[in-house]
Amino acid sequence: MSGKDRFYRLMQGDEACAEGALAAGMRFFAGYPITPASEIAEYLSQRLPEEGGVFIQMEDEIASMGAIIGASLGGMKSMTATSGPGFSLMQENLGYASMAEVPCVVVDVQRLGPSTGSPTAPAQGDVMQARWGTHGDHAVVVLSPSSVKEVYQLTVKAFNIAEELRLPVVLLMDEVVAHMRERVDMRELAQVEVVDRKRPATPKDSYLPYGPDRDDVPALARFGDGYHFHVTGLFHDSTGFPTGNPKEIERQIARQHRKLERYRPYLCIGDEEALEDAEVVVLAYGGSARPALAAVRQGRREGLRVGLIRPTVLWPFPEETIYALATRVQSIIVPEMNLGQLALEVERSVKGECRVTRLPKVNGELFTPEEILAVIRKEALSCPSWRLRPIYEKKDYAISGVQAVATA
């Protein structure tokens, strides 16, 4: 290999996740094999020891989640990876990490379910489980990549958010993105920023593990450094010990959500294409975003005013962005490999300002651009700009399967 070729590498999505975690400073992984996430554990079983880290194959997913919580409290950036059935088993400990404000990263590579379902088939059926899988009003951040390069970048970002806000972060992939291989420019990946958690600046005898700073995020000491503090899943005060004081309980819940709201403007990120004059918009994420982009570009070539918005942070949902978009478009199409989980959130966010069209798919296959384009064409026909066009102009389009055009 010579010249510029040496900067490029053919990477799989799962492999990019593992390398991104290492770049972020992750040095502890605990997990249990499960398709289509097994490659992450397999890869890290070799790479982590090379970086001075610790890899443990646990007896199950419940123990895996408990192990990364313990490792994080010991001062290590930690991660586990699983798929739908394993993600379900992790939910109780995920709630514990949220209550105890333990930074960690959980990777869920979605597959077709429920239950063991179809292990090698792509799906996006864990969107709501990622948000509401554990009980109680908990704060959580969920990221969704669409390419191998983005898997790497968002894995680093997941660790940065977890460390900065002191909470668990979920990286929600789907089988297509996890098993896809793409050429990646390693020079671009080397530019990522890495954030470490805030350490206490107070004397050890006056340290309060849940005494927040002005940003509502408490500094986290490392077990073993001489700081003695209590960690529990019970509601607790600033010392970490349980409390039944209603005001203290309410104050704790409010602070844990407030720290996320402070960060929300930096979390509502994603891509967009051709939104300037769009009347029809496709909202897609993860693997579904790739055929959606191809469909949007083909629609543009046909003269349709269609655009794409692709949130890479699903939770917290970018509801203000979606509402602002809804006030100036006619329709939002939501293709997703489930029966409409995120479409429900889009419908709530648009507040009736535009039409929301669900495009579900649950047969274990990825969308084709043609499937999404057919819905774009149908929605475009109802838009004002299309109705105002001369009939001869409409006949110029070779649109198949749309009866209204055939009539014209």
Model pLDDT for residues 84-99, shown as the tens digit of each residue: 999 999 999 999 999 9
Residue range 188-203: mean pLDDT, rounded: 92
What is the structure's pLDDT at 44?
98
Residue range 272-288: mean pLDDT, rounded: 97
In this predicted structure, the answer to whether residue 399 has a pLDDT above a threshold of 70 is: no
In this predicted structure, the answer to whether residue 393 has a pLDDT above a threshold of 60 is: no
What residues does 54 pair with on adjacent strands? 28
Higher pLDDT, 383 or 53: 53
In this predicted structure, the answer to whether residue 370 has a pLDDT above a threshold of 60 is: yes
pLDDT-based confidence at residue 386 (cuts at 50, 70, 90):
low
Strand-strand pairing, 313-315 and 141-143: antiparallel
Residue 82 DSSP label: E
Residue range 32-55: mean pLDDT, rounded: 97
In this predicted structure, the answer to whether residue 401 has a pLDDT above a threshold of 90 is: no
In this predicted structure, the answer to whether residue 37 has a pLDDT above a threshold of 70 is: yes
Strand-strand pairing, 270-273 and 306-311: antiparallel
What is the structure's pLDDT at 285?
98
In this predicted structure, the answer to whether residue 385 has a pLDDT above a threshold of 90 is: no
pLDDT-based confidence at residue 6 (cuts at 50, 70, 90):
confident
In this predicted structure, the answer to whether residue 365 has a pLDDT above a threshold of 80 is: yes
What is the structure's pLDDT at 58?
98
What is the structure's pLDDT at 191?
83
Q: What percent of the chain has pLDDT over 70?
A: 93
What is the structure's pLDDT at 389?
54
What is the structure's pLDDT at 134?
96
Q: Where are the alpha helices (DSSP H) in 221-288?
A: 246-267
What is the structure's pLDDT at 48?
97
pLDDT-based confidence at residue 212 (cuts at 50, 70, 90):
confident
In this predicted structure, the answer to whether residue 405 has a pLDDT above a threshold of 80 is: no
As given in the structure block, the two tokens for residue 188 are 């671009």
In this predicted structure, the answer to whether residue 398 has a pLDDT above a threshold of 90 is: no
What is the structure's pLDDT at 1?
59
Question: By the 8 A CB rule, do 224 and 48 touch?
Answer: no
Coil, helix or strand for 181? strand
Residue range 358-374: mean pLDDT, rounded: 97
What is the structure's pLDDT at 407?
29
What is the structure's pLDDT at 258?
95
CA-nearest of 3, 26, 6 to 187 is 6
pLDDT-based confidence at residue 396 (cuts at 50, 70, 90):
very low
CA-nearest of 352, 353, 358, 317 to 336 is 358
> Out of 178-182, 254-258, 275-279, 389-393, which region has the weakest mean confidence (pLDDT)?
389-393
Residue range 216-240: mean pLDDT, rounded: 94
* CB neighbour burial string for 41-78, b if at least 16 within 10 angstroms, e if fewer: bbbbeebbeeeebebbebeebbbbbbbbbbbbbebbbb
What is the structure's pLDDT at 268?
75
In this predicted structure, the answer to whether residue 348 has a pLDDT above a threshold of 80 is: yes
In this predicted structure, the answer to whether residue 4 has a pLDDT above a threshold of 60 is: yes
Coil, helix or strand for 405? helix
In this predicted structure, the answer to whether residue 205 has a pLDDT above a threshold of 50 is: yes
Mean pLDDT rounded to a whole number for the chain: 92
Higher pLDDT, 100 or 381: 100
| Residue linked to tokens 């994603």 | 270
Helix or strand run (H / E) with residue 56? strand 54-57
What is the structure's pLDDT at 197?
96
What is the structure's pLDDT at 21?
98
Residue range 97-102: mean pLDDT, rounded: 97
Q: CA-to-CA distance for 86 and 33, rounded, in angstroms?
A: 9
What is the structure's pLDDT at 269?
78
